[in-house]
């Protein structure tokens, strides 16, 4: 078969279409696959408990979690919203965790305040070993049920996400 211009263009279109379909399939897979449960699975040393001041939330990238201090009680909170798994940031201005996806709001201890979340933010167990705070990301504790308000306080200021 002789190499004609028509044959070359047809082959080029087939190859281009195949590559485009492959790229679309790969992109769809990346968007639809479930999020990983944590960055690291196991125990992570977080340093001295004194490093976590009352009323603050510190993000720990290695474990993909928040360490929050509610009136001297430390919590290791999962960054994933219990509703649909969105990443929940801490809003410095309100002093609350606010889910940007569907509007769930949680207090500094991860207790549910408002929104579609079925419960408060999930937690990981914390222990103190040799004066070092250690979180175990291989274990997850379901967040507190609706109505738990042991650490609920008024918001410090305006909400970041425009809700709650």
Q: Examine the domain organization and report whether 14 and 58 are in the same domain.
A: no
Task: Give the CATH number for residue 56.
Answer: 2.102.10.10
- What is the number of other CB atoms lying within 10 angstroms of the CB of residue 25? 10
pLDDT digits (tens, 9 = 90+) for 83-122: 888 889 998 888 889 998 888 999 998 899 999 999 999 9
Number of structural domains (the chain) is 2
pLDDT at 162: 60
From the number of C-beta atoms within 10 Å of its C-beta (0-12, 13-18, 19+), residue 126 rates as middle
pLDDT digits (tens, 9 = 90+) for 48-90: 888 888 888 889 888 889 999 988 889 999 988 898 888 899 9
Two structure tokens written together for 69: 């201090």
Flag whether 151 is in a domain. no
pTM of the predicted structure, to 2 decimals: 0.69
Total residues found in the chain within this entry: 164
Question: Domain span at residue 20?
Answer: 1-33
Distance CA 160, CA 57 (A): 15
Flag whether 153 is in a domain. no
Flag whether 121 is in a domain. yes
Higher per-residue pLDDT: 38 or 104: 104
Percent of the chain with pLDDT over 90: 22
Higher per-residue pLDDT: 19 or 101: 19
Q: Examine the domain organization and report whether 49 and 83 are in the same domain.
A: yes
Flag whether 163 is in a domain. no
Q: Is the pLDDT of residue 42 over 90?
A: no
Q: Examine the domain organization and report whether 85 and 132 are in the same domain.
A: yes
> Which residues, 6 or more positions from 48, have their beta carbon under 8 angstroms from its beta carbon?
131, 132, 133
CA distance readout (Å), 19 to 6, 16, 24, 29, 90: 20, 5, 9, 15, 41
Flag whether 20 is in a domain. yes
Task: For residue 19, list its beta bridge partners.
Answer: none
> Which residues, 6 or more positions from 33, have their beta carbon under 8 angstroms from its beta carbon?
none
CA neighbours closer than 13 Å in the CB half-sphere of residue 64: 18
Average pLDDT over the chain, rounded to an integer: 85
Instruction: Yes or no: say if 106 and 148 are a contact pair by the CB < 8 Å rule.
Output: no
**Per-residue DSSP letters for 29-65?**
HHHHSPPPS-SS-SEEEEE-GGGS-TT-EEEETTTTE
Instruction: Yes or no: say if 93 and 159 are a contact pair by the CB < 8 Å rule.
Output: yes
Q: Is the pLDDT of residue 37 over 70?
A: no
């Amino acid at each position: 078969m002789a190499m004609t211009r028509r044959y070359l263009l047809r082959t080029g279109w087939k190859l281009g279409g195949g590559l485009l379909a492959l790229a679309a399939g790969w992109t769809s897979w990346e968007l639809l696959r479930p999020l990983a449960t944590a960055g690291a699975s196991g125990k992570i040393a977080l340093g001295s408990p004194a490093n976590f001041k009352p009323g603050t939330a510190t993000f720990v990238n290695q474990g993909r979690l928040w360490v929050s201090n509610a009136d001297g009680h430390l919590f290791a909170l999962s960054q994933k919203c219990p509703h649909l798994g969105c990443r929940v940031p801490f809003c410095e201005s309100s002093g609350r965790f606010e889910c940007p996806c569907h509007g769930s709001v949680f207090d500094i201890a991860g207790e549910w305040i408002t929104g579609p979340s079925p419960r408060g933010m999930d937690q990981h167990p914390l222990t103190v070993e040799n004066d070092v705070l250690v979180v175990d990301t291989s274990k997850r504790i379901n967040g507190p049920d609706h109505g738990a308000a042991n650490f609920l306080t008024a918001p410090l200021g305006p909400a970041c996400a425009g809700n709650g």
